[in-house]
A and B are shown apart, each in its own frame.
Chain A
């Protein structure tokens, strides 16, 4: 239960923080850190819920944009990066980058809780 709540809270806070686009794009690292510092979980689970929260958020947001755009831009960007023109790869990479940073931030939060 804690695990699910952590994922949802991580995603929700990241989404809300991301609405303030004058803040840097990595502002979610702070909210993910706070979530895992508040909800006690093992470091492994903290990392995973932090990762999944952002992975799911970014993947879903990207899919919404991409579907409305009929893959026009994602196909081009996926050739530039280069990911072979696959929009699916691009969406996954998007999710993984957000997830990794959030996961590490959550891990930090978990260890802070343990050491205090």
Chain B
């Protein structure tokens, strides 16, 4: 019988194809379909881009109004020259897609709660979280608002979307980006909504911490009682040097906020109901940034120099993409967001601008009472009010859909309810009030900054920034410098929104927004500079509550202002040095405090050795400094020693107090009661006991690091820039860079300056920039991570801000792409 071998071999063929055409589960993750992935004509080999790739091209596209020329420089930065603004955004969309398509789509999938669709059911909790947080709801509202009120912005976003889709349409199956092949899915069409979803993604990253901290703060208040809570999470920051200098006089507030009469009993004194809910990923506390402008009186040229470095999660592909956009209305250069038109941080022929996070509280929880488990009606102002239901369908790869029915209240979506349990809350229903849900003008502020010519244009432009707060720094060629904190900020009474608020009537509702004229602002000050580093914008005399002090890091602001006050005859090179400054002003204040309480005679030899290293340290957290490592480990151990015992008793999730609170409490109070270890019943520990205990604990950690050769600060800190999928071979690991928390060069393990920019407002603008990544998102391109070494070692690229007439012959221009109408 010949039929048996025939059948067997046919089966083998089928089996082999099937095996290599299936995603296999290995160690908790899935392989690509290996046959497809390795097929040289279909799979990843197609993404192995030649290092000699020629980016010249003539591209014919419909929807263009005229001709667009794109000169691409040696760093793969496109310089777009178009006759119409919308053509420029169309081509920007095309180029973002050409270089960053996977990332653009992935980030908006995260925002839209669509990860399970591509990864599978293990990401359903992440998707549920973002759906219930109202990410899609917020994006839809912003889109509707912009379509109604800002047709100019809308047409820019629509043109951009068409450009993205023009690229996707001509993409052959084998040309799709690497990560699609790895995860085994395909790109879909881009939509305008995705640009708004990306904005929600940034809103969450910059203001979404409240979705977790408001619960943690409520837990902490419940656990300690308000009196002790107020010591641990105090509003007092002695070292604060606010954005607006102390002593500035503020006008009488237009919104007179009144705290509810029962605030002591029903709110501050309430200790009922804990919440153990956590977000799948919590925005980094250090999401912050530095920006400053040195005025002409302090520079060598007599013209302002603006600097900005936004501190965000460090990822590959980078959040940023450099671009120049030139049309008859403007010529602008800067860092853009793949997924959005225009430049976000940059400069044009007349002005420069930079942003930092304001840190103001724009997100609150309200506890709701529903009539029954259908969640159809809730109690509000003495009657049952109907709750509209918003249905969100989460598609899940290889599994059934998950549907979220979200009860919408007067405040916003009900984040937690009996279907989405906040265990430990006794079934609390928590509705979310977040300015990111308010609609608002979206990117209009940035669009207008791209076109701004002077101070008045700047002020008008940023007045459109109305959801989540930013500090906008400004400089012009005419010599104006300014900084304004801008958003629709809630006029709050003291502690309003630090905890879960009662939501059964309007007593605890927001009473209004602060008028934009009353937002903290400073222009051409006597001292010759403006700056912000996420600290509180004002001193106590500002008539509104800014939000919990733990939202506002203090020390970077202190050191930046100290250095800027001392600077004179500054050049761009001086400002580069300042952005890379590694001096730790927190250590300057904390080290003497530690040493004051050391009981020298009882130290062991190793303890003494490490303390000596710390003492002889110059306070600068450079790459090889061992003192920086010793200081950080001892301080961390001191926190553990002081807080560990008290906080260990809390069954719910509570964040520890800030470093400033511990430092200033110990400085003020030599009998600080939290120094006592409450686990030792018959002894009351002193600060000195705690310090000695901390040194002992720290020595164990330091000995281990020492043995591994990781006592040097950079080796100990171990900074990395991770691929968005956290795949190490696609990441840049073990980077030789100093800096850290509280330091101007705020580079921590996974977080730090995501774009460093310096703009000197001379007649022909002198500008420098660098970000930890590369222009090409393809891990197979040589432009994938080209800037990382420069970034780590504190070097800058001179920015090429080209006039069209010089572009064709400029020695740094490598390629020309022309786009013509079909």
Contacts and interface: CB of A to CB of B under 8 A. Distances in A.
Main secondary structure on chain B at its contact with chain A? helix
Interface stretch (B11-19, B323-331, B520-528, B673-681): B11-19
A86 to B, nearest CB: 13
B2 interface: yes
A101 B17 contact: yes
Interface in B5-32: 5-6, 9-10, 12-13, 16-17, 20-21, 31
A58 B46 CA distance: 12
A73 interface: yes
Contacts of A68: 48, 50-52
Nearest to A66: B48
Interface size class of B (residues with CB under 8 A): 35 or more
Contacts of B2: 111, 114-115
Contacts of B42: 18, 21, 25
A72 B780 contact: yes
Interface string B756-787: 00000000000000000000000111101000
Contacts of A29: 13, 17
B172 interface: yes
Interface stretch (B108-116, B233-241, B306-314, B724-732): B724-732
A9 interface: no
Nearest to B8: A111
Interface string B110-137: 0000000000000000000000000000
Given A72-B780, A73-B178, A76-B730, A62 B45 contact: yes
Contacts of A58: 38-40
Given A101-B20, A105-B13, A80 B50 contact: no
Contact of A101 (B35, B47, B174, B781): B35
B40 A94 contact: yes
Given A72-B780, A74-B48, A76-B730, A61 B5 contact: no
Contacts of B780: 69, 72-73, 76
B813 to A, nearest CB: 23
Interface residues of A, number: 46
A66 to B, nearest CB: 6
A104 B7 CA distance: 11
B17 A26 contact: yes
Interface in A16-42: 18-19, 21-22, 24-26, 29, 33
Interface in B29-65: 31, 34-36, 38-52
Contact of A79 (B17, B39, B729): B729
A111 B4 CA distance: 9
Nearest to B779: A76
B592 interface: no
B35 A26 contact: yes
A25 B31 CA distance: 17
Interface in B445-469: none
Contacts of B6: 108, 111-112, 114-115
Nearest to B723: A76
B43 A25 contact: yes
B38 A21 contact: no
B16 A73 contact: no
Contact of B173 (A21, A26, A79): A21
B646 to A, nearest CB: 45
B815 to A, nearest CB: 17
Interface in A50-68: 57-58, 61-62, 65-66, 68
Contact of A25 (B3, B35, B728, B779): B35
Nearest to A101: B16
Nearest to A46: B9
Contacts of A61: 40-41, 45
A58 B20 CA distance: 15
Given A65-B46, A81-B31, 16 more contacts: A26-B20, A33-B13, A57-B40, A69-B780, A72-B779, A72-B782, A73-B45, A73-B48, A97-B34, A100-B16, A101-B16, A101-B35, A107-B9, A107-B12, A111-B6, A115-B2
Interface of A: 15, 18-19, 21-22, 24-26, 29, 33, 43, 57-58, 61-62, 65-66, 68-70, 72-77, 79-81, 85, 90, 93-94, 97-98, 100-101, 104-105, 107-108, 110-112, 114-115
In the complex, the 10 A-B pairs of residues with the closest C-beta atoms, listed nearest first: A73-B780, A115-B2, A61-B40, A79-B729, A18-B41, A69-B48, A68-B50, A104-B13, A111-B6, A25-B39
20 contacts: A18-B41, A21-B173, A25-B39, A29-B13, A29-B17, A58-B39, A65-B40, A66-B45, A70-B782, A72-B779, A73-B47, A94-B45, A101-B13, A101-B35, A104-B9, A104-B16, A107-B12, A108-B6, A108-B9, A114-B6
